[in-house]
Amino acid sequence: MPFVDTQLVLFDEDYRKVLGVCERLARDAHSKGVFVVDKNGQLMAEAGDLRGLDTTSLASLTAGCIAATGGLAKIIGEEEFPIHFHQGQRDNLHMTVVAKRIILVVIFDERSSLGLVRLRVKKAGAELARVFEEIQKKSERARNGATSPFAEITDDDIDKLFAD
Amino acid sequence: MSFINYASREINCKVVYYGPGLCGKTTNLQFIYAKTNPDLKGKMISLATETERTLFFDFLPLALGQIRGFKTRFHLYTVPGQVFYDASRKLILKGVDGVVFVADSQMERMEANIESLDNLRVNLGEQGYDLAKVPYVIQYNKRDLPNAASLEEMQRLLNPSGAPEYEACATVGKGVFETLKAVAKGVLTDLKKMAR
């Protein structure tokens, strides 16, 4: 089964590793915010000074954007466009596809530069790829083993969600 | 596919509302959005044309409650129903955990329903999914219209396998939450099976 289609399980220790990479990148790239988003639109980690941002929407739209341009890439014979840059009047958005499954999003303004962001993202992306290789292995083990929180739920637990 | 996050104790699942153009997919989401407690929902996003036809997708994040200490979150998406947006529909189906097929009950839309259902089957197949195995619910929408086909006719044409089915009138909310609950339950039951 391809990596993209497997269920993803994120354990505490892996989350801390992902967060560590994000925090370092946010600092080193002088960015306003860094986000790690699953290609299916789930937010996995965030770092930086951005407050009050609708991160759920950000994650969903990031995934939609990468999916749409990925479709465009295939039309012209490319596998994917792994790097995206959107320039705004005040803030800019840099997106990179990591390990074919994860999107690394960096938001920055005039206190940083595209060159610096690219440089730092390259290093952080390589680190994240290694972390996600581990996460994938653990996800597969969790899917096949008893570590899933769903292994022991009952029909009753599910029914209770819809009680009202 | 679902995403289990032990750090935030959350389980995230993706449900896609599929169906022909103007069958009421967006209306389903709008009703759910309007009637859900603000604490349980996020912002609804609609990427639509100026004439309010879905261009790429609608998106609504919902929190359903806790199971064994894990918050269950559902991300509801709609696809653009118009035939020529097929490339977009394929993208939105990626990573889907459950599907709702919204059928338009009007007799003159029956061919569009059949075509859209075939298209769903093909697009799911391209992603390696089998409609018979994915948690799946069918909703017969617009039951209030005078030109609605009989329920038996719709069942015969669109649901020969006997998937869970609901009659609905999404504009007033009839059948909307019943459909959502059925697909959510199907997704969670499926996750439970996968965990065994």
ipTM comes to 0.83
Q: What is the pLDDT of residues B5-26, one digit of tens each?
A: 999 999 999 999 999 999 999 9
Whether B76 is covered by a domain: the verdict is yes
List of chain A residues whose C-beta atoms are within 8 Å of the C-beta of residue B88:
68, 71
CA pair distance B1, B11, nearest whole angstrom: 11
Whether B195 is covered by a domain: the verdict is no
Q: What is the pLDDT of residue B196?
A: 62
Whether B32 is covered by a domain: the verdict is yes
B40 touches chain A (CB under 8 A): no
Whether residue A152 and residue B43 make contact (CB cut-off 8 A), yes or no, is: no
Whether residue A68 and residue B7 make contact (CB cut-off 8 A), yes or no, is: no
Whether B56 is covered by a domain: the verdict is yes
Closest Cα in chain B, distance from residue A80 (Å): 13
Q: What is the pLDDT of residue A164?
A: 61
Q: What is the pLDDT of residues A10-59, one digit of tens each?
A: 999 999 999 999 999 999 999 999 999 999 899 999 999 887 899 999 99
A146 — pLDDT class (breaks 50, 70, 90): low
What is the percentage of chain B residues whose pLDDT exceeds 70?
99
For CA atoms B103, B132, B89, A97, give the dihedral sign.
positive
Q: What is the pLDDT of residues A78-102, one digit of tens each?
A: 999 999 999 999 999 999 999 998 9
Full residue range of the structural domain in which residue B24 is found: 3-190
Whether B196 is covered by a domain: the verdict is no
Whether residue B43 and residue A57 make contact (CB cut-off 8 A), yes or no, is: yes
Closest Cα in chain B, distance from residue A9 (Å): 5
**What's the rounded mean pLDDT across residues A129-146?**
82
Lowest mean pLDDT among A69-83, A138-152, B57-71: A138-152
A148 — pLDDT class (breaks 50, 70, 90): low
pLDDT at B122 over 60: yes
CATH of the domain at B115: 3.40.50.300
The residues near B34 (Cβ < 8 Å, ≥ 6 apart) are none
A12 touches chain B (CB under 8 A): yes
CA pair distance A111, A119, nearest whole angstrom: 15
B6 touches chain A (CB under 8 A): yes
Whether residue A64 and residue B64 make contact (CB cut-off 8 A), yes or no, is: no
Whether residue B59 and residue A57 make contact (CB cut-off 8 A), yes or no, is: yes
Q: What is the mean pLDDT of chain B?
A: 94
The residues near A28 (Cβ < 8 Å, ≥ 6 apart) are A120
Whether B94 is covered by a domain: the verdict is yes
Q: What is the pLDDT of residue A147?
A: 59
Q: What domains lie within chain A, and their CATH numbers?
A: 3-161 (3.30.450.30)
Q: What is the pLDDT of residue B136?
A: 97
Write the DSSP assignment of chain A as a string of letters: --GGGS-EEE-HHHHHHHHHHHHHHHHHTT-SEEEEEETTS-EEEEEES--S--HHHHHHHHHHHHHHHHHHHHHTT-S---EEEEE-SS-EEEEEEETTTEEEEEEE-TTS-HHHHHHHHHHHHHHHHHHHHHHHHHHHHHHHSTTSTTTT--HHHHHHHT--
Contact B95, A40 (CB under 8 A): yes
